[in-house]
Amino acid sequence: MPEIAWVNGRVTPLAEAVLPIDDRGTQYGDGVYEVLRSYGGRLFAPDRHFARLRRSAATIALPADPRVDVIESIVDDLVARAGFPESLVYVQVTRGTAPRSHLWPKGIVPNVVVTARPLAIDLARERREGVAVVLRPDLRWGRCDVKSLNLLPNVLARSEAQAAGAFEAVFVDRDGRVTEATTANVFAVRGGALVTPPQKPQLLPGVTRSVLLDLARSVALPLREEEVTREAFLAADEAILSSTTAELLPIVRADGRPIGTGRPGPVFARLEAAFRDAVKNAKDPFFGRRAAAAVEEGVR
């Protein structure tokens, strides 16, 4: 099956999908997005993703649009049409099309885009051996809890990480606290406890992060949401990345220094096993329609 796109109600092959040049997402990054994945044709944590999309849109005052109200059915239909065993779904809502001006006109209609393509990411070796990261200053805007299109600082930091031979870049704010990575949330392990920075405007409320928090509680893994300094991160027993596409990955080196033993550790192994079990058995609420409240309450 071809990669396909839904653009303002029209379904086309992905290569033929277009938006006007005056789309405000293109001109200003004036929009929000979500990335979802499916396992065996079923979307993972859909309610959490869609709730976050609506919250991001409301935060930047995107006008209400009936297509966003039925985005779940649009995505379900596109995934079914594509028919991939595992799909990567991208949803984008921009403020709309208008002559270039910082102020948008009254009555502007959002542009809504959904794409589906096969998920072609193989991170088995990285999961088995662990990944390296570099630490970089967090130069992003102050509302990273909004999943907006403004990703240039993330792009540049990830490029720097690749140039340094690392998998990811982890941001550190001006107070020396770890926030998150360019495409993932971050966990540290200290004394057997899983530690992750608390939810705040400087962090995206990650869906996989919220799933891992639920799984940690389900296996009675000690858990704390508290600030993690740069020094504490480097001195951690283990560290973990989490995201929709990468799932969870062990961090074994940071800025050229080993994290813990320099190998994936036992806490990662417990979480990984719990995650695989949830995916294999399609456990609710992760595949069901009962998890939106966790996101609405600010749980990442």
Q: 36: domain CATH number?
A: 3.30.470.10
Per-residue burial over 137-155, b if 16 or more Cβ lie within 10 Å, else e, is ebebeeebbbbbbbeebbe
Tell me how many helices (H) and strands (E) the chain has. Answer: 10, 15
**132 lies in the same domain as 100:** no
Distance (Å, whole) CA 60 – CA 211: 26
Residues recognised as catalytic? 147
Return the pLDDT at 67. Answer: 84
Structural domain includes residue 300: no
Task: To the nearest 10°, report the CA torsion of 267, 271, 274, 278.
Answer: 180
Structural contact between residues 4 and 82, judged by C-beta atoms closer than 8 angstroms: yes
Domain count, the chain: 2
Query: Of 118, 133, 159, at which residue does a domain stop?
Result: 118
Q: Is the dihedral of CA 160, 164, 168, 174 positive or negative?
A: negative
Enter the tokens of residue 265. 């550790």
Enter the tokens of residue 247. 């799932």
| Residue span of the structural domain in which 29 resides | 4-118
Task: To the nearest 10°, report the CA torsion of 275, 280, 281, 282.
Answer: 80
**150 lies in the same domain as 252:** yes
Enter the tokens of residue 123. 């991170």
Q: What are phi and psi of 74, to 5 degrees?
A: -65, -45
Query: Of 91, 118, 145, at which residue does a domain stop?
Result: 118
State the DSSP code for 59.
H
Per-residue burial over 55-70, b if 16 or more Cβ lie within 10 Å, else e, is bbbeeeebeebebbee
Distance (Å, whole) CA 45 – CA 235: 33
Query: Of 118, 147, 177, at which residue does a domain stop?
Result: 118
Structural domain includes residue 299: no
Structural domain includes residue 296: no
> For the purposes of burial, counting CB atoms within 10 Å of the CB of 297, is it exposed (0-12), middle (13-18) or buried (19 or more)?
exposed
**63 lies in the same domain as 210:** no
End-to-end CA distance of the chain: give it in Å, rounded: 34
**16 lies in the same domain as 86:** yes
Structural domain includes residue 287: no
Structural domain includes residue 295: no
Return the pLDDT at 1. Answer: 65
Enter the tokens of residue 241. 């990345």
**220 lies in the same domain as 268:** yes
Structural domain includes residue 239: yes
**94 lies in the same domain as 146:** no
Return the pLDDT at 226. Answer: 97
Distance (Å, whole) CA 235 – CA 163: 24
Closest C-alpha among 92, 91, 61, 55 to residue 298: 55
Return per-residue pLDDT of the chain as tens, 300 residues: 689 999 999 999 999 999 999 999 999 999 999 999 999 889 999 999 999 999 999 999 998 788 888 999 999 999 999 999 899 999 999 999 999 999 999 999 999 999 999 998 999 999 999 999 999 999 999 999 999 999 999 999 999 999 999 999 999 999 999 999 999 999 999 999 999 999 999 999 999 999 999 999 999 999 999 999 999 999 999 999 999 999 999 999 999 999 999 999 999 999 999 999 999 887 776 886 543 444 344 333
Enter the tokens of residue 254. 């940071």
